[in-house]
Chains A and B, each alone.
Chain A
Amino acid sequence: MSAQRNDPAVRRRHLQLRISTLKRRVGLASVVGFGALLGLVAEHAVGAHRNATSPAARGGGQTSAAPSRFFDAGGATYSFGDDTAQLPTLGGGQSQSSPQSSPQSSPPPPPVAQTSAS
């Protein structure tokens, strides 16, 4: 028995057997891991789709002001003109922002509308 174990050919065959077993296990683990990853990705996609299509259905218990698709206008946006000008008539008011010290710009054209109308 002992002589057989010390036989280099037998030892090489054992080693090859172990390596082969190890390869099979690594392969199996890879497949299982990949499957799990795929499952997680699929679950995430389904969750995202559910959230996108039915915000009300998941509304229960939601309390945080998480970003929502409501403010995602699909690429549309707003912008102000460069010629925005000031009419500084705010009685006693002051800005918390950083106003420029001498914002000399041409008078703005008369407004065509006003926010906060009746």
Chain B
Amino acid sequence: MARRQFRAMGTDVLVVAPLARVDVAADTVHALFVAWERILSRFRPDSELARLNESAGVPFVASPILFDAVAAAMSAAVATGGLFDPTLLRDLERVGYDRSFKDLEKAQSETQTTPIGGGMWRRLELRRESRTILLPRGAALDLGGIAKGMAVDASLDLLRTIGVGAALVSAGGDLAVRGLPPGASSWPVAVGEDAELTVTLVRGALATSSRLRRAWRQGTLERHHILDPRTGEPSRSGLREATVAAATCAQAEAASKAVFVLGLQLAGELVTRNGLAARLVADDGRVATFGPWPQRTEVAA
């Protein structure tokens, strides 16, 4: 197997595929990510998502990719009772995440503004027949994480159609696999910020939400990008990171955010009810696993 890496959708995209096909696989995935970024990026003023956000209160006829991404985000919001919330963009900007993370000032001045909080997705309307989205007035969408997850899933579907049956695609660490590497029974994947353990994935997807990587300061306040929809502020659930295994990367990504917001004590119910597996790391280093997460991986240091 061989690896190719490129930058798209504000993150590092990794493609692992058989050596003979890795270049064509990487080119295919790159083209897909570039096309999706043009549609779904909140940082590009010319993206279709940016135009949708400017059209709040007015019916907007969307492309199939944007419509499906918004529909998936809405479905994820319903499934998590709103703990995954795609309508937190204004709060995300308010706490300082208003441009691509690489361009973000990591020590910002403090601003005195009131959180809006989540829940606007409940008033968003979708009409599938006409692919029309009616965003409530004052709402704005951020599809960042789930859009990357969907792009990973779509990439693997696309690779299969061009005859690449075994591949791993990762967007900033949200990853999924199809098929198996030649002569191997699984894909070894390091988990978490510190790569403190390795699991072997046979099929499906893994995603980690962490407060460590996309973090900055706003005055005296420590900020990170995972907002709690109940407060509109960066989550203080006591977790450092949450990794979720699911059938698809979009599912794993949305669930990891919801689980992160719930915290160590409450996450288990959401994980097991939806047939997922998860590994949570608390700020104090405690680790908990839920669902069929491989038990042998958890060993006290």
Contact surface of A with B, Cβ cutoff 8 Å: 53-57, 59-71, 73, 76-100, 103, 105, 108-118
Across the interface, name the chain B residue whose C-beta is closest to A104: B296
Q: A70-B76, A112-B189, A115-B174 are in contact. List 19 more A-B contacts (CB 8 A).
A: A55-B78, A56-B121, A59-B122, A60-B122, A65-B81, A65-B273, A68-B75, A69-B75, A76-B203, A80-B294, A84-B198, A86-B296, A90-B197, A94-B286, A103-B299, A113-B170, A115-B173, A115-B189, A118-B173
A59–B45 alpha-carbon span in the complex (Å): 28
Contact surface of B with A, Cβ cutoff 8 Å: 1, 3, 11-12, 14, 16, 70-72, 74-83, 121-128, 168, 170, 172-175, 181, 184-210, 213, 241, 243, 245-248, 251, 254-255, 264, 270, 273-277, 281, 284-289, 292-301
**Best-buried of B78, B190, B196, B277 by chain A (most CB within 10 Å):** B78
Complex contacts, A89 vs chain B, CB 8 Å: 194, 196, 301
Q: Are B173 and A59 in contact (CB under 8 A)?
A: no
Q: Are A113 and B298 in contact (CB under 8 A)?
A: no
Complex contacts, B201 vs chain A, CB 8 Å: 78-81
**Best-buried of A57, A99, A113 by chain B (most CB within 10 Å):** A113
A97–B289 alpha-carbon span in the complex (Å): 6
Q: Is the interface of B mostly helix, strand, loop or mixed?
A: mixed
Q: Are A59 and B74 in contact (CB under 8 A)?
A: yes
Q: Are A95 and B299 in contact (CB under 8 A)?
A: yes
Complex contacts, A66 vs chain B, CB 8 Å: 78-79, 81
11 contacts between A and B (CB under 8 A): A62-B82, A70-B79, A70-B254, A81-B202, A84-B198, A87-B195, A96-B289, A97-B295, A116-B192, A116-B208, A117-B11
Q: Are A96 and B286 in contact (CB under 8 A)?
A: yes
Q: Give the total number of A-B pairs whose CB atoms are below 8 A apart.
A: 259
Tell which of A62, A91, A111 touches B122, judged by Cβ atoms closer than 8 Å: A62
Q: Are A67 and B189 in contact (CB under 8 A)?
A: no
Q: Are B301 and A56 in contact (CB under 8 A)?
A: no
How many whole Å from B226's CB to the nearest CB in chain A?
Answer: 12
| Known contacts A93-B300, A118-B172; A78/B193 CB under 8 A | no
**Best-buried of A54, A64, A103, A112 by chain B (most CB within 10 Å):** A112
A57–B126 alpha-carbon span in the complex (Å): 6
How many whole Å from A49's CB to the nearest CB in chain B?
Answer: 12
Q: Are A64 and B189 in contact (CB under 8 A)?
A: no
| Known contacts A90-B196, A96-B287; A81/B186 CB under 8 A | yes
| Known contacts A84-B200, A118-B12; A94/B78 CB under 8 A | no
Across the interface, name the chain A residue whose C-beta is closest to B181: A112
Across the interface, name the chain B residue whose C-beta is closest to A118: B12
Complex contacts, B288 vs chain A, CB 8 Å: 95-97
**Best-buried of B184, B264, B285, B294 by chain A (most CB within 10 Å):** B294
Across the interface, name the chain A residue whose C-beta is closest to B242: A116
A27–B196 alpha-carbon span in the complex (Å): 72
| Known contacts A55-B74, A91-B301, A93-B301; A71/B196 CB under 8 A | no
A99–B174 alpha-carbon span in the complex (Å): 26
Complex contacts, A114 vs chain B, CB 8 Å: 173, 189-191, 195
Q: Are B81 and A64 in contact (CB under 8 A)?
A: yes
How many whole Å from A65's CB to the nearest CB in chain B?
Answer: 3
Complex contacts, A95 vs chain B, CB 8 Å: 287-289, 298-300
A59–B119 alpha-carbon span in the complex (Å): 10
Complex contacts, A85 vs chain B, CB 8 Å: 198, 200, 296-297
**Best-buried of A59, A78, A95, A114 by chain B (most CB within 10 Å):** A78
| Known contacts A70-B254, A71-B275, A117-B173; A59/B78 CB under 8 A | yes
A112–B243 alpha-carbon span in the complex (Å): 17
